[in-house]
Amino acid sequence: MLGIVLGVSSLIATMALTRGIEDGTRIFMQQMGGLELVTIVNKEPSSRKYEFANLSPGRTLRDAEAIRRSATFISHVSPEISLNTAVATDGGGNPDRRMVRGVYPDHFVIAMHQIAAGRFLTALDLERGSRCAVVGDTVAKNLWPGIPPPLIVGKSILIDNRPFEVVGVLPLYEMEEQARARRSGRSISRRWDPFRQKNETVLVPFTTMFHELRSGAFPLDSLETMKLETLTVRVGDLDHFRPALDQVRRILDTTHRGVDDFDLETRQDWFDRMESSVRAARLSGGLISAISLVVGGIGIMNIMLASISERVREIGIRLAVGARQRDIFWQILIESILVSLLGGLLGILASLGLIEILKTIAPTENVPVLTPDSILLAVGFALAAGLLSGLYPAAKASTIDPITALRYE
Protein backbone atom coordinates (compact mmCIF):
# COMPACT_ATOMS: atom_id res chain seq x y z
CA MET A 1 0.00 0.00 0.00
CA LEU A 2 2.92 2.36 0.66
CA GLY A 3 3.88 2.18 -3.02
CA ILE A 4 0.34 3.21 -3.98
CA VAL A 5 0.45 6.09 -1.47
CA LEU A 6 3.77 7.34 -2.83
CA GLY A 7 2.68 6.93 -6.44
CA VAL A 8 -0.62 8.76 -6.01
CA SER A 9 0.86 11.60 -3.94
CA SER A 10 3.77 12.17 -6.31
CA LEU A 11 1.50 12.05 -9.37
CA ILE A 12 -0.93 14.62 -7.91
CA ALA A 13 1.93 16.86 -6.76
CA THR A 14 3.63 16.67 -10.16
CA MET A 15 0.44 17.57 -11.99
CA ALA A 16 -0.25 20.42 -9.56
CA LEU A 17 3.27 21.80 -10.03
CA THR A 18 3.16 21.62 -13.83
CA ARG A 19 -0.34 23.15 -13.83
CA GLY A 20 1.00 26.01 -11.71
CA ILE A 21 3.85 26.56 -14.18
CA GLU A 22 1.39 26.52 -17.08
CA ASP A 23 -1.01 28.98 -15.43
CA GLY A 24 1.85 31.24 -14.37
CA THR A 25 3.19 31.27 -17.93
CA ARG A 26 -0.20 32.17 -19.38
CA ILE A 27 -0.79 34.98 -16.87
CA PHE A 28 2.72 36.35 -17.34
CA MET A 29 2.39 36.27 -21.11
CA GLN A 30 -0.95 38.07 -20.97
CA GLN A 31 0.45 40.74 -18.66
CA MET A 32 3.42 41.20 -20.99
CA GLY A 33 1.27 41.68 -24.08
CA GLY A 34 -0.23 38.33 -25.01
CA LEU A 35 0.16 36.20 -28.12
CA GLU A 36 -0.58 39.19 -30.34
CA LEU A 37 2.90 40.64 -29.83
CA VAL A 38 5.53 40.10 -32.51
CA THR A 39 9.11 41.32 -32.11
CA ILE A 40 11.25 42.07 -35.14
CA VAL A 41 14.79 40.94 -34.34
CA ASN A 42 18.11 41.10 -36.17
CA LYS A 43 19.75 37.98 -37.57
CA GLU A 44 22.60 37.04 -39.83
CA PRO A 45 21.65 37.14 -43.53
CA SER A 46 21.43 33.83 -45.33
CA SER A 47 24.43 32.62 -47.32
CA ARG A 48 22.94 33.66 -50.65
CA LYS A 49 22.28 37.18 -49.35
CA TYR A 50 25.38 37.60 -47.23
CA GLU A 51 27.43 39.48 -49.81
CA PHE A 52 24.62 42.04 -50.16
CA ALA A 53 24.26 42.58 -46.39
CA ASN A 54 25.72 46.11 -46.52
CA LEU A 55 22.84 47.19 -48.76
CA SER A 56 20.37 46.82 -45.91
CA PRO A 57 19.94 49.83 -43.61
CA GLY A 58 19.08 47.48 -40.74
CA ARG A 59 16.20 47.85 -38.31
CA THR A 60 15.31 51.56 -38.44
CA LEU A 61 12.39 53.91 -37.93
CA ARG A 62 11.58 53.57 -41.64
CA ASP A 63 10.58 49.97 -40.94
CA ALA A 64 8.15 51.09 -38.25
CA GLU A 65 6.60 53.80 -40.41
CA ALA A 66 6.27 51.47 -43.41
CA ILE A 67 4.53 48.83 -41.28
CA ARG A 68 2.25 51.48 -39.79
CA ARG A 69 1.21 52.69 -43.25
CA SER A 70 0.92 49.41 -45.15
CA ALA A 71 0.28 46.49 -42.76
CA THR A 72 -3.51 46.45 -42.44
CA PHE A 73 -3.52 43.55 -39.96
CA ILE A 74 -1.14 45.32 -37.56
CA SER A 75 -2.90 47.54 -35.00
CA HIS A 76 0.08 49.05 -33.13
CA VAL A 77 3.77 49.61 -33.85
CA SER A 78 6.36 50.46 -31.20
CA PRO A 79 9.93 51.36 -32.24
CA GLU A 80 12.30 51.93 -29.35
CA ILE A 81 15.74 53.38 -28.62
CA SER A 82 17.25 53.63 -25.17
CA LEU A 83 20.06 55.16 -23.14
CA ASN A 84 21.47 54.11 -19.79
CA THR A 85 21.91 57.40 -17.95
CA ALA A 86 21.48 59.20 -14.64
CA VAL A 87 17.99 60.12 -13.46
CA ALA A 88 17.54 62.47 -10.48
CA THR A 89 15.09 64.96 -9.06
CA ASP A 90 15.52 68.62 -9.93
CA GLY A 91 16.34 69.27 -6.28
CA GLY A 92 19.53 67.25 -6.53
CA GLY A 93 19.93 64.22 -4.31
CA ASN A 94 21.42 60.90 -5.24
CA PRO A 95 20.81 60.12 -8.93
CA ASP A 96 19.62 56.71 -10.08
CA ARG A 97 21.20 54.95 -13.03
CA ARG A 98 18.26 53.95 -15.20
CA MET A 99 17.53 52.73 -18.70
CA VAL A 100 15.62 55.62 -20.28
CA ARG A 101 13.61 54.50 -23.30
CA GLY A 102 12.33 56.54 -26.19
CA VAL A 103 9.01 55.13 -27.37
CA TYR A 104 5.91 55.85 -29.43
CA PRO A 105 2.46 56.26 -27.82
CA ASP A 106 1.61 52.77 -29.14
CA HIS A 107 3.99 51.40 -26.53
CA PHE A 108 1.21 51.85 -23.95
CA VAL A 109 -0.95 49.17 -25.63
CA ILE A 110 1.88 46.91 -26.76
CA ALA A 111 3.46 46.68 -23.28
CA MET A 112 0.02 46.38 -21.61
CA HIS A 113 0.69 49.42 -19.43
CA GLN A 114 -1.74 51.08 -17.05
CA ILE A 115 -1.66 54.53 -15.50
CA ALA A 116 -1.66 55.09 -11.74
CA ALA A 117 -1.70 58.89 -12.07
CA GLY A 118 -1.45 61.43 -14.89
CA ARG A 119 -1.34 60.32 -18.52
CA PHE A 120 0.81 58.47 -21.02
CA LEU A 121 2.84 59.96 -23.86
CA THR A 122 0.77 61.33 -26.75
CA ALA A 123 1.24 61.91 -30.48
CA LEU A 124 1.57 65.64 -29.74
CA ASP A 125 4.48 64.93 -27.38
CA LEU A 126 6.09 62.92 -30.16
CA GLU A 127 5.52 65.61 -32.78
CA ARG A 128 6.87 68.42 -30.62
CA GLY A 129 9.70 66.43 -29.05
CA SER A 130 8.43 67.46 -25.63
CA ARG A 131 10.57 67.04 -22.56
CA CYS A 132 8.09 64.87 -20.69
CA ALA A 133 8.44 61.49 -19.06
CA VAL A 134 6.41 58.61 -17.65
CA VAL A 135 8.09 56.79 -14.77
CA GLY A 136 7.59 53.35 -13.27
CA ASP A 137 6.48 52.72 -9.70
CA THR A 138 9.96 51.77 -8.45
CA VAL A 139 11.54 54.89 -9.97
CA ALA A 140 8.85 57.12 -8.46
CA LYS A 141 9.28 55.62 -4.99
CA ASN A 142 13.07 55.91 -5.14
CA LEU A 143 13.02 59.54 -6.27
CA TRP A 144 10.10 60.69 -4.09
CA PRO A 145 9.77 58.31 -1.12
CA GLY A 146 6.41 58.43 0.60
CA ILE A 147 4.78 60.72 -1.97
CA PRO A 148 1.66 59.28 -3.68
CA PRO A 149 1.62 59.11 -7.51
CA PRO A 150 -0.93 61.94 -8.04
CA LEU A 151 1.40 64.38 -6.27
CA ILE A 152 4.38 63.26 -8.36
CA VAL A 153 2.69 64.24 -11.62
CA GLY A 154 3.94 67.69 -12.63
CA LYS A 155 7.27 67.41 -10.81
CA SER A 156 10.54 67.69 -12.72
CA ILE A 157 13.34 65.16 -13.06
CA LEU A 158 16.80 65.48 -14.55
CA ILE A 159 17.63 62.96 -17.25
CA ASP A 160 21.28 63.27 -18.23
CA ASN A 161 21.16 66.72 -16.54
CA ARG A 162 18.25 67.86 -18.75
CA PRO A 163 14.94 68.77 -17.09
CA PHE A 164 11.88 66.66 -17.94
CA GLU A 165 8.34 67.01 -16.59
CA VAL A 166 6.73 63.87 -15.15
CA VAL A 167 3.36 63.56 -16.87
CA GLY A 168 2.45 60.06 -15.70
CA VAL A 169 3.26 57.40 -13.13
CA LEU A 170 2.78 53.69 -13.82
CA PRO A 171 1.31 51.35 -11.19
CA LEU A 172 3.25 48.62 -9.42
CA TYR A 173 3.28 45.57 -11.66
CA GLU A 174 3.37 42.28 -9.79
CA MET A 175 2.09 38.74 -9.95
CA GLU A 176 -1.23 37.97 -8.27
CA GLU A 177 0.46 35.93 -5.55
CA GLN A 178 2.79 38.84 -4.80
CA ALA A 179 -0.16 41.21 -4.50
CA ARG A 180 -1.95 38.88 -2.07
CA ALA A 181 1.17 38.51 0.03
CA ARG A 182 1.74 42.27 0.11
CA ARG A 183 -1.86 42.92 1.18
CA SER A 184 -1.59 40.34 3.95
CA GLY A 185 1.74 41.70 5.15
CA ARG A 186 3.73 38.58 4.24
CA SER A 187 7.15 38.85 2.64
CA ILE A 188 8.05 36.83 -0.44
CA SER A 189 11.63 36.23 -1.46
CA ARG A 190 12.11 36.40 -5.23
CA ARG A 191 14.99 35.21 -7.33
CA TRP A 192 13.63 36.75 -10.51
CA ASP A 193 11.11 39.52 -11.05
CA PRO A 194 9.48 39.40 -14.51
CA PHE A 195 8.10 42.94 -14.08
CA ARG A 196 11.30 44.58 -12.95
CA GLN A 197 11.83 46.32 -16.29
CA LYS A 198 8.30 47.72 -16.29
CA ASN A 199 8.55 48.93 -12.69
CA GLU A 200 11.95 50.55 -13.22
CA THR A 201 11.19 52.10 -16.59
CA VAL A 202 11.54 55.75 -17.60
CA LEU A 203 9.72 56.50 -20.85
CA VAL A 204 10.16 59.63 -22.99
CA PRO A 205 8.96 60.46 -26.53
CA PHE A 206 10.99 58.78 -29.26
CA THR A 207 11.84 62.08 -30.96
CA THR A 208 12.93 63.63 -27.66
CA MET A 209 15.22 60.70 -26.98
CA PHE A 210 16.88 61.10 -30.37
CA HIS A 211 17.26 64.89 -30.48
CA GLU A 212 17.97 65.53 -26.79
CA LEU A 213 19.85 62.45 -25.64
CA ARG A 214 21.07 60.29 -28.52
CA SER A 215 21.92 62.56 -31.46
CA GLY A 216 25.19 63.71 -29.87
CA ALA A 217 26.40 60.13 -29.60
CA PHE A 218 25.45 59.36 -33.24
CA PRO A 219 25.92 62.63 -35.17
CA LEU A 220 25.88 60.96 -38.60
CA ASP A 221 22.46 59.36 -38.05
CA SER A 222 19.16 60.98 -38.91
CA LEU A 223 15.91 60.23 -37.15
CA GLU A 224 14.90 57.83 -39.96
CA THR A 225 18.22 55.98 -40.15
CA MET A 226 18.79 55.60 -36.40
CA LYS A 227 19.22 51.94 -35.57
CA LEU A 228 16.46 50.68 -33.26
CA GLU A 229 17.11 48.59 -30.15
CA THR A 230 13.61 47.13 -30.28
CA LEU A 231 10.80 47.04 -32.81
CA THR A 232 7.56 45.43 -31.69
CA VAL A 233 4.20 45.20 -33.42
CA ARG A 234 0.79 43.98 -32.28
CA VAL A 235 -1.51 41.91 -34.44
CA GLY A 236 -5.02 43.32 -34.33
CA ASP A 237 -6.81 39.98 -34.64
CA LEU A 238 -5.35 36.54 -33.91
CA ASP A 239 -7.60 35.11 -36.64
CA HIS A 240 -5.36 36.95 -39.12
CA PHE A 241 -2.11 36.16 -37.34
CA ARG A 242 -0.34 34.42 -40.23
CA PRO A 243 -1.47 36.94 -42.88
CA ALA A 244 -0.24 39.72 -40.59
CA LEU A 245 3.19 38.11 -40.38
CA ASP A 246 3.28 37.74 -44.16
CA GLN A 247 2.46 41.44 -44.54
CA VAL A 248 5.25 42.44 -42.19
CA ARG A 249 7.76 40.19 -43.95
CA ARG A 250 6.93 41.64 -47.37
CA ILE A 251 7.24 45.22 -46.07
CA LEU A 252 10.56 44.55 -44.33
CA ASP A 253 11.87 42.74 -47.39
CA THR A 254 11.30 45.98 -49.30
CA THR A 255 12.77 48.36 -46.70
CA HIS A 256 15.80 46.07 -46.22
CA ARG A 257 16.36 45.90 -50.00
CA GLY A 258 15.86 42.18 -50.25
CA VAL A 259 18.38 41.30 -47.53
CA ASP A 260 16.93 38.80 -45.05
CA ASP A 261 18.77 40.20 -42.01
CA PHE A 262 15.64 40.16 -39.85
CA ASP A 263 13.32 37.64 -38.30
CA LEU A 264 9.91 37.68 -36.60
CA GLU A 265 9.89 36.38 -33.05
CA THR A 266 6.38 35.48 -31.97
CA ARG A 267 5.02 34.71 -28.54
CA GLN A 268 3.31 31.68 -30.07
CA ASP A 269 6.68 30.06 -30.73
CA TRP A 270 7.81 30.85 -27.21
CA PHE A 271 4.55 29.61 -25.71
CA ASP A 272 4.73 26.39 -27.74
CA ARG A 273 8.22 25.77 -26.38
CA MET A 274 6.98 26.36 -22.85
CA GLU A 275 4.04 24.03 -23.42
CA SER A 276 6.42 21.39 -24.72
CA SER A 277 8.62 21.76 -21.64
CA VAL A 278 5.61 21.51 -19.33
CA ARG A 279 4.38 18.39 -21.13
CA ALA A 280 7.84 16.84 -20.84
CA ALA A 281 7.95 17.62 -17.11
CA ARG A 282 4.46 16.20 -16.64
CA LEU A 283 5.40 13.05 -18.56
CA SER A 284 8.61 12.59 -16.55
CA GLY A 285 6.76 13.01 -13.27
CA GLY A 286 4.05 10.66 -14.46
CA LEU A 287 6.58 7.97 -15.33
CA ILE A 288 8.22 8.27 -11.92
CA SER A 289 4.82 8.02 -10.27
CA ALA A 290 3.91 5.07 -12.48
CA ILE A 291 6.99 3.24 -11.23
CA SER A 292 5.80 3.72 -7.64
CA LEU A 293 2.34 2.48 -8.62
CA VAL A 294 3.82 -0.59 -10.32
CA VAL A 295 5.90 -1.32 -7.22
CA GLY A 296 2.78 -0.89 -5.10
CA GLY A 297 0.81 -3.17 -7.41
CA ILE A 298 3.48 -5.86 -7.18
CA GLY A 299 3.38 -5.53 -3.40
CA ILE A 300 -0.41 -5.92 -3.38
CA MET A 301 -0.16 -8.97 -5.64
CA ASN A 302 2.42 -10.62 -3.36
CA ILE A 303 0.32 -9.90 -0.28
CA MET A 304 -2.79 -11.32 -1.95
CA LEU A 305 -0.89 -14.47 -2.97
CA ALA A 306 0.33 -14.85 0.62
CA SER A 307 -3.23 -14.29 1.85
CA ILE A 308 -4.56 -16.98 -0.46
CA SER A 309 -1.97 -19.49 0.77
CA GLU A 310 -3.19 -18.84 4.33
CA ARG A 311 -6.88 -19.10 3.36
CA VAL A 312 -6.80 -22.24 1.20
CA ARG A 313 -8.98 -24.22 3.66
CA GLU A 314 -11.46 -21.32 3.92
CA ILE A 315 -11.72 -21.16 0.12
CA GLY A 316 -12.23 -24.96 -0.02
CA ILE A 317 -15.08 -24.76 2.53
CA ARG A 318 -16.77 -21.98 0.53
CA LEU A 319 -16.50 -24.00 -2.67
CA ALA A 320 -17.81 -27.11 -0.90
CA VAL A 321 -20.96 -25.38 0.37
CA GLY A 322 -21.90 -23.96 -3.04
CA ALA A 323 -19.67 -20.99 -3.86
CA ARG A 324 -18.83 -20.75 -7.54
CA GLN A 325 -15.38 -20.09 -8.97
CA ARG A 326 -16.40 -16.60 -10.08
CA ASP A 327 -17.51 -15.82 -6.49
CA ILE A 328 -14.01 -16.60 -5.22
CA PHE A 329 -12.49 -14.68 -8.15
CA TRP A 330 -14.51 -11.53 -7.41
CA GLN A 331 -13.89 -11.74 -3.67
CA ILE A 332 -10.09 -11.71 -4.09
CA LEU A 333 -10.22 -9.08 -6.87
CA ILE A 334 -12.42 -6.72 -4.83
CA GLU A 335 -10.11 -7.09 -1.83
CA SER A 336 -7.16 -6.11 -4.03
CA ILE A 337 -9.04 -3.10 -5.44
CA LEU A 338 -10.09 -1.96 -1.95
CA VAL A 339 -6.50 -2.11 -0.72
CA SER A 340 -5.35 0.05 -3.66
CA LEU A 341 -8.32 2.42 -3.19
CA LEU A 342 -7.39 2.90 0.47
CA GLY A 343 -3.82 3.56 -0.62
CA GLY A 344 -5.10 6.08 -3.15
CA LEU A 345 -7.13 7.95 -0.51
CA LEU A 346 -4.11 8.06 1.79
CA GLY A 347 -2.07 9.26 -1.20
CA ILE A 348 -4.49 12.16 -1.71
CA LEU A 349 -4.00 13.24 1.90
CA ALA A 350 -0.23 12.93 1.53
CA SER A 351 -0.32 14.97 -1.68
CA LEU A 352 -2.06 17.86 0.10
CA GLY A 353 0.84 18.10 2.53
CA LEU A 354 3.37 17.74 -0.28
CA ILE A 355 1.73 20.53 -2.27
CA GLU A 356 1.86 22.84 0.75
CA ILE A 357 5.59 22.17 0.99
CA LEU A 358 6.00 22.90 -2.72
CA LYS A 359 4.13 26.19 -2.32
CA THR A 360 6.74 27.41 0.15
CA ILE A 361 9.67 26.66 -2.15
CA ALA A 362 8.16 27.23 -5.62
CA PRO A 363 8.42 30.66 -7.29
CA THR A 364 5.38 32.78 -6.50
CA GLU A 365 4.39 33.03 -10.15
CA ASN A 366 4.32 29.22 -10.48
CA VAL A 367 2.45 28.20 -7.32
CA PRO A 368 1.19 24.58 -7.60
CA VAL A 369 -2.51 24.35 -8.48
CA LEU A 370 -4.50 21.32 -7.34
CA THR A 371 -7.26 20.34 -9.76
CA PRO A 372 -10.00 17.68 -9.53
CA ASP A 373 -8.73 16.16 -12.77
CA SER A 374 -5.38 15.31 -11.22
CA ILE A 375 -7.06 13.66 -8.21
CA LEU A 376 -9.38 11.59 -10.40
CA LEU A 377 -6.51 10.56 -12.66
CA ALA A 378 -4.30 9.52 -9.75
CA VAL A 379 -7.08 7.54 -8.08
CA GLY A 380 -7.91 5.95 -11.44
CA PHE A 381 -4.31 4.81 -11.82
CA ALA A 382 -4.35 3.44 -8.27
CA LEU A 383 -7.52 1.46 -8.97
CA ALA A 384 -6.02 0.19 -12.23
CA ALA A 385 -2.93 -0.96 -10.31
CA GLY A 386 -5.15 -2.74 -7.80
CA LEU A 387 -7.20 -4.35 -10.55
CA LEU A 388 -4.20 -5.60 -12.51
CA SER A 389 -2.35 -6.80 -9.43
CA GLY A 390 -5.42 -8.71 -8.23
CA LEU A 391 -6.17 -10.59 -11.44
CA TYR A 392 -3.55 -13.31 -11.04
CA PRO A 393 -4.20 -13.99 -7.32
CA ALA A 394 -7.96 -14.02 -7.98
CA ALA A 395 -7.58 -16.43 -10.88
CA LYS A 396 -5.30 -18.67 -8.82
CA ALA A 397 -7.72 -18.70 -5.89
CA SER A 398 -10.75 -19.47 -8.06
CA THR A 399 -9.10 -22.57 -9.57
CA ILE A 400 -8.26 -24.23 -6.24
CA ASP A 401 -9.61 -27.78 -6.06
CA PRO A 402 -12.08 -27.92 -3.12
CA ILE A 403 -11.15 -31.51 -2.17
CA THR A 404 -7.46 -30.67 -2.02
CA ALA A 405 -8.27 -27.44 -0.18
CA LEU A 406 -10.27 -29.21 2.52
CA ARG A 407 -7.31 -31.48 3.21
CA TYR A 408 -4.95 -28.47 3.46
CA GLU A 409 -3.66 -27.70 6.91
Same domain, 213 and 290: no
The answer to whether 367 and 20 are in contact (CB under 8 A) is: yes
Give the tens place of pLDDT for each residue, 281-296.
778 777 877 787 787 7
Sign of dihedral through CA atoms 16, 18, 21, 23? negative
Report the pLDDT value the prediction gives residue 178, as an integer from 0 to 100.
Answer: 61
Q: Which domain holds residue 162?
A: 79-228
Same domain, 308 and 372: yes
41: β partners: 263
Give the tens place of pLDDT for each residue, 47-71.
777 777 788 888 888 999 999 999 8
Same domain, 293 and 386: yes
Q: Is 47 a domain residue?
A: no
Same domain, 223 and 296: no
Percent of the chain exceeding pLDDT 70 equals 87
Same domain, 190 and 292: no
DSSP assignment string, 34-82:
-TTEEEEEE-PPPTTTGGGGGG---SBHHHHHHHHHH-TTEEEEEEEEE
- Domain stop point among 187, 204, 228: 228
Confidence band, pLDDT 50/70/90 cuts, at residue 103: very high
Percent of the chain exceeding pLDDT 90 equals 21
Report the pLDDT value the prediction gives residue 151, as an integer from 0 to 100.
Answer: 93
Q: Is 344 a domain residue?
A: yes
Q: Is 91 a domain residue?
A: yes
Give the tens place of pLDDT for each residue, 327-340.
888 888 888 888 88
Same domain, 202 and 286: no
- Domain stop point among 228, 245, 262: 228
Give the tens place of pLDDT for each residue, 118-170.
999 999 999 999 999 999 999 999 889 889 999 999 999 998 888 999 999 99
Q: Is 257 a domain residue?
A: no
Q: How far apart are CA 121 and CA 108, in angstroms?
A: 8
Report the pLDDT value the prediction gives residue 387, as an integer from 0 to 100.
Answer: 85
User: 5-14, 74-83, 159-168, 244-253: lowest mean pLDDT where?
Assistant: 5-14
Q: Is 179 a domain residue?
A: yes
Same domain, 297 and 388: yes
Q: Is 270 a domain residue?
A: no
Confidence band, pLDDT 50/70/90 cuts, at residue 85: confident
Q: How far apart are CA 377 and CA 293, in angstroms?
A: 13
Same domain, 189 and 304: no
Same domain, 212 and 306: no
Same domain, 83 and 184: yes
- Distance (Å) of CA 211 to CA 60, 133, 277, 374: 16, 15, 45, 58
Same domain, 212 and 305: no
Report the pLDDT value the prediction gives residue 124, as an integer from 0 to 100.
Answer: 94
- Does residue 309 surpass a pLDDT of 90? no
Report the pLDDT value the prediction gives residue 135, as an integer from 0 to 100.
Answer: 94
Q: How far apart are CA 383 and CA 386, in angstroms?
A: 5
Give the tens place of pLDDT for each residue, 264-278.
888 776 667 777 777
- Domain stop point among 228, 262, 295: 228
Q: Is 343 a domain residue?
A: yes
- Does residue 214 surpass a pLDDT of 60? yes
The total number of structural domains in the chain stands at 2
Same domain, 311 and 379: yes
CA atoms within 13 A on the CB side of 332: 31
**Region 313-341 average pLDDT:** 84
Q: Is 34 a domain residue?
A: no
- Does residue 100 surpass a pLDDT of 70? yes
